[in-house]
C-alpha cells in the first residue's frame, strides 16, 4: 500500500475519524475465554452480579478493537513506525454485547526527533464512544512516523 501521510502532515488539533465496529456477545466471550477469563466477561449472570451490570467486554478486548480501527482508519496509509508506549489508558464505561464503538484520533502534540532525523513523534488522544455517544475508552500515546523529507533525501526511514 502506498504511504500517503508522513510526520510533516500531522497538525495540532487535527482529528481522524477511525470508523466504527459492533461488538457481539460471542466475540466478548471468545476473547475473554482466551485472554481475560474473569466471570463477568464470560457469563451473563456473573456480569449482572458485578459492578459492570452485565456481561461486558474485557478492557483489553476493547483496546484490541480500537487498535484495529486505528490501523484500518489511519495507520495503514501512513509512514507509521510503531509506538513505544501508551501514556494513559482509561476504560470509562463497560462495553456490552450489541454496542457499536466509534473512535476518533486527535493530534495533541508533534515532535521532531533530533537523534533520528528520519522520524518524528505524533501524540494522539483517542476517544472511543458507544452508539449512544457515551465515552467508553480514552487513550493517549505517541506513535513514530517516517518523515517525507527523509524519504526525499534518500535517508533510511
Q: Tell me the pLDDT tens digit for each residue of 68-113.
A: 999 999 999 999 999 999 999 999 999 999 999 999 999 999 999 9
Q: Are 66 and 139 in contact (CB under 8 A)?
A: yes
- Kindly indicate the confidence band of residue 157, based on its pLDDT and cuts at 50, 70 and 90: very low
- Which domains can be identified in the chain, with CATH numbers? 7-153 (3.10.129.10)
**pLDDT at residue 149, as a whole number:** 80
Average pLDDT of the segment spanning 22-35: 98
DSSP reduced 3-state for 47: helix
Give 22's DSSP letter: E
pLDDT one-digit tens code per residue, 30-68? 999 999 999 999 999 999 999 999 999 999 999 999 999
- Kindly indicate the confidence band of residue 153, based on its pLDDT and cuts at 50, 70 and 90: low
Q: Are 136 and 20 in contact (CB under 8 A)?
A: no
**pTM recorded for the entire structure:** 0.92
**Closest by alpha carbon to 132, among 88, 98, 86?**
98
Amino acid at each position: 500500500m502506498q504511504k500517503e501521510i508522513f510526520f510533516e502532515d500531522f497538525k495540532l488539533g487535527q482529528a481522524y475519524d477511525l470508523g466504527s465496529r459492533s461488538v457481539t456477545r460471542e466475540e466478548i466471550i471468545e476473547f475473554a475465554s482466551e485472554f481475560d477469563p474473569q466471570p463477568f466477561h464470560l457469563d451473563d449472570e456473573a456480569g449482572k452480579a458485578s459492578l459492570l451490570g452485565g456481561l461486558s467486554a474485557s478492557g483489553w478486548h476493547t483496546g484490541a478493537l480500537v487498535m484495529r480501527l486505528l490501523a484500518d482508519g489511519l495507520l495503514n496509509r501512513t509512514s507509521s513506525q510503531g509506538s513505544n508506549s501508551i501514556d494513559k489508558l482509561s476504560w470509562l464505561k463497560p462495553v456490552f454485547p450489541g454496542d457499536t464503538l466509534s473512535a476518533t484520533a486527535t493530534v495533541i502534540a508533534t515532535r521532531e526527533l533530533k537523534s533520528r532525523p528520519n522520524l518524528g513523534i505524533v501524540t494522539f488522544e483517542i476517544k472511543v464512544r458507544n452508539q449512544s455517544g457515551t465515552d467508553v475508552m480514552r487513550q493517549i500515546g505517541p506513535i513514530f512516523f517516517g518523515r517525507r523529507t527523509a524519504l526525499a533525501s534518500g535517508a533510511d526511514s
